Amino acid sequence: MPETGARLRRWGRRGAHSVLGGMAAIGLAFTNLPLLTASVVALALTPVPFLGLALVPWTMTLVRKRADLERRRASRTGVLVTRPYHPSPERAMADGWQRFRWTVTDPATWRDLAWLLPGAIVGFTLGTIAVVVPLYGLAGLTLTPLWIWLATGWYHYGAIWSIDTAPAGLLCLPQGAVILAVGLWAAPWLRRVDALFARLFLAPTRAAELRLRVTQLTLTRADTVDAQAAELRRIERDLHDGVQARLVSLSMIIGLADELIDRNPAEAHKLLAEARESSGTALVELRHLVRGIHPPVLAERGLGGAVRALALSLPVPITVDIDLPGRPDTPVESAAYFAVAEALTNMIRHSRAHSGSVSVRHADGALTMVVTDDGAGGADPAAGTGLRGIERRLAAFDGTMALSSPPGGPTVITMEIPCALSSPRTMPSSETD
């Protein structure tokens, strides 16, 4: 029963947030028309010297900001819409002609303009439905006491059956409850339909996806090189400041013990005991360092066993479901493990979740990892919660990450890495920890 109550509360919060999203869609729909009008006027004034060069980039910048806002709103419903624009040339911000040319020659600019009017119509219509239906149900729950208190003699309510008398007013209560429940259930789906419609216009075309892919590969390769260099510097620093310093100290202690062993055996024994303790500390530090590079449990038990061991070490119960008929290559396996570890760490630190789950599967030539929690939701890669680090880690292997985290939860992180598996499975397929 407590679990059912928690699910109902999450469902209610999700519906309420979607109703608020519908209100925002209604308001934003009214901004599309002025933006479209301003853009048309700016384009019409293009032949006017200097005026068009200044107005067109300015209005298109506003249109892009509006489109970017819609992309972010779509991502909150689980619909990922990638930003499709050409990267700006170096002189675009300084040279008016270059900026004008960069703006008007980008096909994404015209797709944004094409979306403004139909996007306003669809957003306003679906937003109105998402708002009006729950409010009408809420009105049914409040009409009866208002009728009794006001005694106005005017009564009318009904979407399922008509009510127009005070004695029948009590029938508003169940009808209003049904309408409210239907409205809260439908509101997230209406928001998702609006997001899917926006994706038709605002997502990149195939040519733009190819161009973005080339740009992404260039950036991810550079990020990978920088990350590897930073990791090497970290390892060098940890070795220099930790293990190396202890080994130097250990060597000095053994040297002193060697000098004192004939003249003062008791003091030499003390120094040797100190050396033994120092060597144990150095060994522990070295193990921690190795564990940060490649966890031994990952090498010994594979990705499934390492994820299970990680889940057992967390303070929140985690359900683990593994279906791997083999093992991926070591670099891919390591990247997948650390991506899951980072996602679970974010869950513990930020989501206030009571439980979570991890699913790891391989199908259609790709390793898919899904991390879910029942926390507060609202995760945002731009908020600095480690999600950008996961994206960079996966991007080094052409992997992707999709995030669905509406306010009120649940949060679902889906990570995918293209890869093949090698050795046969030796671990059981699924287990609950």
pLDDT 10s digits, 67-94: 999 998 888 888 888 888 877 665 545 5
Residue 10: which of 352, 264, 430, 358 has the closest Cα? 352
Same domain, 127 and 143: yes
Same domain, 147 and 216: no
pTM: 0.53
Strand spans (E) along 152-297: none
Residue type, 357: S
State which of 293, 324, 339 marks the end of a domain: 293
Helix (H, G, I), strand (E, B) or coil at 375: coil
Rounded CA-CA distance 310/393 in Å is 19
Inter-helix orientation angle 265-293/206-238, to 10°: 180
Which residues constitute the domain of residue 314?
302-432
- Quote the radius of gyration of the chain (alpha carbons, Å): 30
> What is the helix, strand, coil percentage profile of the chain, to 5?
65, 10, 25
Rounded CA-CA distance 181/129 in Å is 14
Question: pLDDT value at position 196?
Answer: 92
Same domain, 25 and 127: yes
Mean pLDDT by 10 residues, the chain (433 residues): 69 85 92 92 81 81 91 85 74 63 83 93 94 87 66 61 66 82 90 92 75 64 58 62 68 75 76 75 65 67 86 87 85 85 84 86 87 82 70 79 82 87 51 42
Question: pLDDT value at position 28?
Answer: 92
State which of 202, 224, 241 marks the end of a domain: 202
Domains in the chain, number: 3
Same domain, 103 and 83: yes
Same domain, 19 and 51: yes
Question: pLDDT value at position 215?
Answer: 65
Question: pLDDT value at position 399?
Answer: 83
Question: pLDDT value at position 425?
Answer: 45
CB neighbours of 297 closer than 8 A, spacing ≥ 6?
Answer: 305, 306, 309
Tell me if 339 sits within 8 A of 393, measured CB to CB.
Answer: yes
Same domain, 258 and 330: no
Question: pLDDT value at position 430?
Answer: 40
Same domain, 198 and 268: no
Tell me if 417 sits within 8 A of 398, measured CB to CB.
Answer: yes
Residue 66: which of 18, 17, 24, 23 has the closest Cα? 24
Residue 67: which of 97, 39, 43, 92 has the closest Cα? 39
Question: pLDDT value at position 117?
Answer: 94
Same domain, 198 and 219: no
Same domain, 284 and 341: no
Same domain, 14 and 90: yes
State which of 237, 263, 293 marks the end of a domain: 293
Same domain, 128 and 193: yes
Same domain, 240 and 356: no
Q: Residues 373-432: pLDDT tens digits?
A: 888 887 777 666 577 778 877 877 878 888 888 887 788 889 988 888 775 544 443 444
What CATH number should be reported for the domain holding residue 399?
3.30.565.10
